[in-house]
């Protein structure tokens, strides 16, 4: 596979990925620690014939991005946890109307204003259900600089494939980390773009929203002769509001099934030094920047005669439930390491049906070091 070597930060790589993946519109509002994404897009979009616009607030930023996506182009916004809170209502609209969109969330401390310049992974639960109602979020989480690029590219393809918003989670450490990354070439990225489906039949036969089943909507670009109604209300095949019982039930069930019936297309995980783990060894579960510390900790533990390995969900939602269950059924000693208090641990407990999962958590805005992980493993196991 052809590659290119780039020295950059995680935030800048996410913006570069968007441009290389064919994004032509960015609407947002500056917020620490994600502002560099918008700064970079303000250079990249005009260079490539696209548009980057700073709106008056976070709400307007996502609304503009949704509107741009409805014209058929790839669109993105970026923010941090407080911005996602403000965007939540419009994200629900995009879920209901099935408008594809990529949202990069560079996580910082919370709730509320929290720790704007410090690292956190406190938005894991928020990314699962950023808005009210029944739907399934698709959330990816970068664990190194290269993935800030590759997961953003993948997010655009998933958004157009499943016709809904897709989250890319960075955290402040990954977003502001600056170093070398090996990336696929622009040509390889372009060759892997999955175009949005379009209806090509007679306009009078066009029904953007399937009546049943598990297929996503087919929203033809606006202003090209195919008319439909756009609403956040429960709607029929043409998009017009309805309260008919079966139509409403099938609509909401389809929003669930279009994701959960195709998790094999969405899930992506890493297993580091897990091949030789036995029942009495140690499984560490971590993601994002914490996984880098976990890998270093595992090397130290093995030097000390403690066999440990890492399971890292790259797709956080839907969770890789099947693989987590297989590993936790086999390995007795499990440690979840997070920059929050149990947000993903609760999912591991749910999937594994175990209440003895150990945890190492930090919520003071500082990173978890490899030595803290080593000490925790030796303490609890």
pLDDT digits (tens, 9 = 90+) for 294-329: 999 999 999 999 999 999 999 999 999 999 999 999
Task: List, in order of start, the domains of the chain with CATH numbers.
Answer: 3-191 (3.40.50.970), 271-380 (3.40.50.920)
> So what's the pLDDT on residue 61?
98
What contacts 86, CB < 8 A, 6 or more positions away? Answer: 57, 58, 59
- The dihedrals phi and psi of 244, each to the nearest 5 degrees, come to -65, 130
**Helix 345-352 vs helix 321-330: angle between axes, to the nearest 10 degrees?**
70
**Mean pLDDT, the chain, whole residue set:** 97
The pLDDT of residue 208 is above 80:
yes
Looking only at the bridges linking them, the beta strands covering 3-9 and 178-184 are: antiparallel
Query: What is the mean predicted confidence (pLDDT) over 116-142?
Result: 97
Question: 44-102 pLDDT, tens per residue?
Answer: 999 999 999 999 999 999 999 999 999 999 999 999 999 999 999 999 999 999 999 99
Q: What percent of the chain has pLDDT over 90?
A: 97
310 with 282: CB under 8 angstroms? Answer: no
Strands (E) in 112-195, as ranges, are 115-119, 138-141, 165-171, 178-184
DSSP 8-state class, residue 10: H
Q: Per-residue confidence at 3, pLDDT binned at 50, 70, 90?
A: confident
At 194, the pLDDT band (50, 70, 90 cuts) reads confident
Nearest C-alpha neighbor of 369 from the set 249, 286, 279: 286
Q: How far apart are CA 168 and CA 343, in angstroms?
A: 17
Residue 1 has a pLDDT of: 58
């Amino acid at each position: 596979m052809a590659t290119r070597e780039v020295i950059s930060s995680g935030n800048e790589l996410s913006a570069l990925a968007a441009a290389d993946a064919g994004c032509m519109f960015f609407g947002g509002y500056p917020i620490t620690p994600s502002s560099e994404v918008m700064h970079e897009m303000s250079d990249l979009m005009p260079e490539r014939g696209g548009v980057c616009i700073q709106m008056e607030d976070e709400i307007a930023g996502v609304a503009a991005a949704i509107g741009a996506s409805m014209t058929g182009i790839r669109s993105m916004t970026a923010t941090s946890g407080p911005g996602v809170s403000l965007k939540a209502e419009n994200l629900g609209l995009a879920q209901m109307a099935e408008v594809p969109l990529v949202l990069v969330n560079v996580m910082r401390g919370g709730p509320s204003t929290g720790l704007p310049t410090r690292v956190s992974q406190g938005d894991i639960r928020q990314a699962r259900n950023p808005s009210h109602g029944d739907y399934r979020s698709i959330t990816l989480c970068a664990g190194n600089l290269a993935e800030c690029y590759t997961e953003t590219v993948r997010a655009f393809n998933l958004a157009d494939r499943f016709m809904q918003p897709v989250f890319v989670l960075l955290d402040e450490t990954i977003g502001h980390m600056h170093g070398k990354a090996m990336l696929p070439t622009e040509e390889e990225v372009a060759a892997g773009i999955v175009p949005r489906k379009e209806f090509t039949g007679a306009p009078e036969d066009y029904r953007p929203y399937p009546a049943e089943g598990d297929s996503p909507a087919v929203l033809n670009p606006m202003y090209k002769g195919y008319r439909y109604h756009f609403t956040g209300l429960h709607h029929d095949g043409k998009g017009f509001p309805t309260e008919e019982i079966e139509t409403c039930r099938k609509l909401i069930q389809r929003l669930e099934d279009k994701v959960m019936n195709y998790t094999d297309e969405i899930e992506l995980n890493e297993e580091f030094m897990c091949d030789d783990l036995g029942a009495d060894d140690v499984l560490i579960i971590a993601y994002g920047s914490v996984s880098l510390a976990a890998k270093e900790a595992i090397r130290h533990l093995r030097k000390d005669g403690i066999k440990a390995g890492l399971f890292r969900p790259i797709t956080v939602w839907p969770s890789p439930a099947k693989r987590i269950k297989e590993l936790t059924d086999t390995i007795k000693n499990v440690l979840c390491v997070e920059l929050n208090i149990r947000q993903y641990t609760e999912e591991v407990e749910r999937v594994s049906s175990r209440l003895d999962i150990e945890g190492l958590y930090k919520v003071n805005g500082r990173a978890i070091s490899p030595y803290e992980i080593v000490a925790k493993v030796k303490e609890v196991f």
